[in-house]
Amino acid sequence: MSDNKTSQDTRERILDVAERLFMAHGYEGTSMRMITGDAEVNLAAVNYHFGSKEALLREVFRRRLAWLNHERLHELDALEAEAGGAPLKPSQVLEAFFGTLLRMGENEALGGMTFLRLLGRTLTEPADFIRTFFAGEYAEVIERYKLALFRALPDVPKAEIIWRFHFMLGAMSYAIAGTDILQVVTGCELGDLSGEKAGERNAAKQLAARVMPFLLGGLRAPLPQFEGDAYQQQEMPLPKTA
Amino acid sequence: MSDNKTSQDTRERILDVAERLFMAHGYEGTSMRMITGDAEVNLAAVNYHFGSKEALLREVFRRRLAWLNHERLHELDALEAEAGGAPLKPSQVLEAFFGTLLRMGENEALGGMTFLRLLGRTLTEPADFIRTFFAGEYAEVIERYKLALFRALPDVPKAEIIWRFHFMLGAMSYAIAGTDILQVVTGCELGDLSGEKAGERNAAKQLAARVMPFLLGGLRAPLPQFEGDAYQQQEMPLPKTA
DNA sequence: GCTTGGTTCAAACGTTCGTTTAAATCATAT
DNA sequence: ATATGATTTAAACGAACGTTTGAACCAAGC
């Protein structure tokens, strides 16, 4: 074993530690000194390698989302090629979108459950630059899957599909990010999702088995009855952008 | 109109402003000076009236959760009394739990959508004292509704119900907190949920009409098939606490 | 009128924040 | 060996943070 530290090591060690600390304490709750301290690098190393704390957070996500985005598009391409122009089944679309995500949680080299939890939590972070960044990173993939869901559910109004896509994202984010909250709230163990007994691979697999039926049930639920003034339009409003 | 400011005014003005700013920027992202500046009170007023920034956040929630907890228990009591010992329908339980919440969003005096968004976002805040606080505030209500769901779904394993309760909380939190995120991501308007056209009352009603069928569909989805090593136990693990 | 207890005020406290600087160190190629 | 560019280092920067202080202010009771 050697104590040599190449600059590549420094960069990645910073990213790994930042990923874990941002997950545990949030963006504003994690200081540069916490990161550089845990990573055993000099305080100035972050600004030297990444430029700023904001840029560091972006890079933490970019190295993971690059794989996730590519994989999600690839899976959808493969399914659509196999279907030969026919609409996919809703379960196939969900499996491609959320299954890909959950497979990241099984693979330590892709960030494992740490990154999944970070992702789930960060989606609700209020900081403007974070939301702007995510919108840009996600736009293409979301658009593709949105269209796939439209085709998979031709009888469901498009606005309703978008709403339910939103609800599914929330259920998944929360399921991943807030595992321990529920344990506290319910006072119950929920199996070894905490990952200490059977490791994180099993945790992600268990979560998948639990959450996918729920999502599919919600997506395919009967359409709401609109009465009174609660809701007037059944069709999708005009898109704001192209 | 008078410029008289009683100390009661000061307290409530601080709470109102803090509620709005914590919602918009998160706990760590909101400084005391932002709060006292917007509320037009002296910087020291927060520590005088509440003791600390942490205590201020707790009080922001306490004044709203007192009503919400009471109302949720009251609704459940009424339903169970009406049922006369028979199990409730799942839709009744969800209507009592989430309908009560959404009714807060229609009532400006109870915090309106601002508090709902704050609640949804804060549930995923990583700070320890926040999670501890919520666990204590929520414990009794969650326990009651958990048991009601057990009775409403006698054929569903209890662990599965807890999981799905968790998923429903996530979908609802996300639906409330992250409205604008989805608009950015999808590039679509989703009706006037932003509340500028028809006001917040309608926003909450629309959301209710959209999300309740989704939740019910997820809650009543077919049970997952457990194959291989992904999941071994179908029954609920032993509770950690009483 | 004067005291009293609650409230507001400007000012400062010490700490921590993200960032910058300039020198020191390292790796590599001539 | 020495020059060069990349990296690391210790130290400091100004700003912002949550909190505290002690005097000023104000309404009510005697």
Residue ranges per structural domain of chain A:
8-51, 62-219
In angstroms, the CA of B53 and the C1' of D28 are apart by 31
Cβ A189–B28 below 8 Å, yes or no? Answer: no
pLDDT band of A225, cuts 50, 70, 90: confident
Q: What is the ipTM of this complex?
A: 0.85
pLDDT at B228 exceeding the cut of 50:
no
Interface test with B, best of A161, A184, A201, A207 (most B CBs within 10 A): A184
Q: Phi-psi region for residue B187, left (φ > 0), alpha (ψ -120 to 50) or beta?
A: left
**For the stretch B50-62, what's the b/e string if a residue is b when 16 or more beta carbons lie within 10 angstroms of its beta carbon?**
beebeebbbbbbe
Is there a contact between B146 and B88 (Cβ–Cβ < 8 Å)? Answer: no
Establish whether domains B8-51 and B62-219 are of one fold: no
Structure confidence by residue, pLDDT tens digits, B164-173: 999 999 899 8
The string of DSSP letters for chain A reads ------HHHHHHHHHHHHHHHHHHH-STT--HHHHHHHHT--TTHHHHHTSSHHHHHHHHHHHHHHHHHHHHHHHHHHHHHHHTTSPPPHHHHHHHHHHHHHHHHH-GGGTHHHHHHHHHHHTT---HHHHHHHHHHHHHHHHHHHHHHHHH-TTS-HHHHHHHHHHHHHHHHHHHHTHHHHHHHH-B--SSTTSSSSHHHHHHHHHHHHHHHHHHHHHTSPPPPP-TTS----SPPPBS--
Instruction: Count Cβ–Cβ pairs < 8 Å, chain A vs chain B.
Output: 258
Per-residue pLDDT, B58? 96
Nearest to A215 by CA among B204, B26, B174, B62: B174
Tokens of B109: 């005096």
Per-residue pLDDT, B199? 60
Domain B62-219 has CATH 1.10.10.10: no
- Separation in Å, CA of A13 to nearest CA in chain B: 23
CATH (one of 1.10.10.60, 3.30.2350.10, 2.40.340.10, 1.10.357.10) for B8-51: 1.10.10.60
Per-residue pLDDT, A219? 96
Beta-carbon-side half-sphere exposure of residue A55 (alpha carbons within 13 Å) = 9
Per the listing, tokens 């995923």 go with B124
Cβ A202–B229 below 8 Å, yes or no? Answer: yes
Structure confidence by residue, pLDDT tens digits, B176-220: 876 555 554 455 555 544 444 456 667 778 888 899 999 999 999
Chain B residue with CA closest to A193: the answer is: B231
Cβ B174–A178 below 8 Å, yes or no? Answer: no
pLDDT band of B93, cuts 50, 70, 90: very high
Tell me how far apart the alpha carbons of residues A47 and A74 are, in angstroms, rounded to a whole number.
Answer: 35
Tell me how far apart the alpha carbons of residues B187 and B185 are, in angstroms, rounded to a whole number.
Answer: 6
Structure confidence by residue, pLDDT tens digits, B9-30: 899 999 999 999 999 999 999 9
Chain B residue with CA closest to A139: the answer is: B185
Tokens of B48: 């005088």
Chain A residue with CA closest to B242: the answer is: A187
Task: Please give the single-letter amino acid code of residue B37.
Answer: G
Nearest to B214 by CA among B143, B154, B164, B140: B164
